[in-house]
Amino acid sequence: MSERRGHDLGLHRVIEPQGALPQAAERLDAESPAFENEIVIDVQTLNIDSASFHQIMGELGRDEAKVGERVREIVAARGKMQNPVTGSGGMLLGTVKAIGKHYQGPVELKVGQRVATLVSLTLTPLKIDAIEKVHLDADQIDIRGTAYLWPSSPVVAMPEDLPERVALSALDVCGAPAQTARLVEGKERVLILGAGKSGMLCAATARATLGEAGKVYAVDLYDENLKVLQDAGIVDDFRTANAKVPTEVLEAVEAMTGGEPVDVVINTCNVSGTEMSAILPVKDRGVVYFFNMATDFSRAALGSEGVGKDVDLLIGNGYAHGHAELTLKMVREFAVVRRQLEGLAGA
């Protein structure tokens, strides 16, 4: 009996190699019925990671049937959707079918509720019964299938008051606003580096957290989003600069602050080589938060040492308590952010 409870980290679903965590596993067991610490999801849509989807299309061409068949094969072989070439997964949308009696997850859920997983498909046990429709331009596949989530896997109930594409687009980066809220609390000057989707959400969060008590500055290569953010009172000032050129960013920031360093830098640039642009403008004992998957660990560590900067360098953890709820709140409260996200999502 107690064996049917399952392990909090999902080890009960790992087939091989033994001792691996589900994400690192070669193969998961998606055949066993639900364990008592799991929820069961009727899966309707797989949002395949863009890199993975394009790798498959690159190999098979823009052929809906072939792409669908490849995804079916991968999931049948591995018990999860983890592209063996790119190593990446994606997330899924579905409906809660059952809730195990020992499931204690991060949010309250009800049977019948529409949910999205905020944990990667690379560690989600998944069984596909049928491929319904492949959306080649949206990196999405509608399926009939079943997935299982244990308590440590973040999940969110889809909001009913927001277009699904906009909500998903915001939820995709929901770790960043939550960390921003914590890091800027009580601070004077905040720099948002990069004003794309996550940059805009972080700027809004910084404004909501600081009120009028602190200054929110932004830098991006282009000024479209920056102007919109300033007009809406979300950022106090902005400059355009190339985040790959640290001295250019430093000058831009000093021009805005009157030469003062900032307390916190949130790096949301989605390009490589921007570590020093985030490190130079921050004050002694300040904080740099890297919500940028192109960040190079050594470049940040050695670069900061190279300029003798005693600052905290934080890796952008994708999970924080209440991250999904806070992010959706920002989308609701800042109409301009919602509008920009709708534009980006093509909604």
The residues binding a second copy (CB under 8 A) are 9, 11, 19-24, 106, 118-120, 122-123, 151-154, 175, 245-248, 276, 280, 290, 293, 295-298, 300-321
Closest distance to a second copy from the beta carbon of 230 (Å):
26
- Residue 42 DSSP code: E
Specify whether the CB–CB gap between 89 and 81 falls below 8 A. yes
Instruction: Give the nearer residue to a second copy in terms of CB position, either 223 or 248.
Output: 248
Closest distance to a second copy from the beta carbon of 284 (Å):
8
Instruction: Give the nearer residue to a second copy in terms of CB position, either 229 or 253.
Output: 253
Helix (H) / strand (E) containing 330 = helix 323-333
Closest distance to a second copy from the beta carbon of 224 (Å):
25
Nearest to 182, CA basis, from 317, 281, 332, 296: 317
Phi, psi of 153 (to 5 degrees): -95, 110
Closest distance to a second copy from the beta carbon of 250 (Å):
9
Instruction: Give the nearer residue to a second copy in terms of CB position, either 132 or 247.
Output: 247
Torsion-angle region of 196 (φ positive above 0: left; ψ -120 to 50: alpha; else: beta): beta
Specify whether the CB–CB gap between 100 and 124 falls below 8 A. no
Closest distance to a second copy from the beta carbon of 131 (Å):
26
Closest distance to a second copy from the beta carbon of 136 (Å):
26
Q: Position of tokens 């596909």?
A: 128
Q: Which residues contact 188 (CB under 8 A, 6 or more apart)?
A: 214, 215, 263
Instruction: Give the nearer residue to a second copy in terms of CB position, either 128 or 320.
Output: 320
Residue 61 burial (10 A CB sphere; 0-12, 13-18, 19+) = exposed
Instruction: Give the nearer residue to a second copy in terms of CB position, either 258 or 308.
Output: 308
Instruction: Give the nearer residue to a second copy in terms of CB position, either 130 or 255.
Output: 255
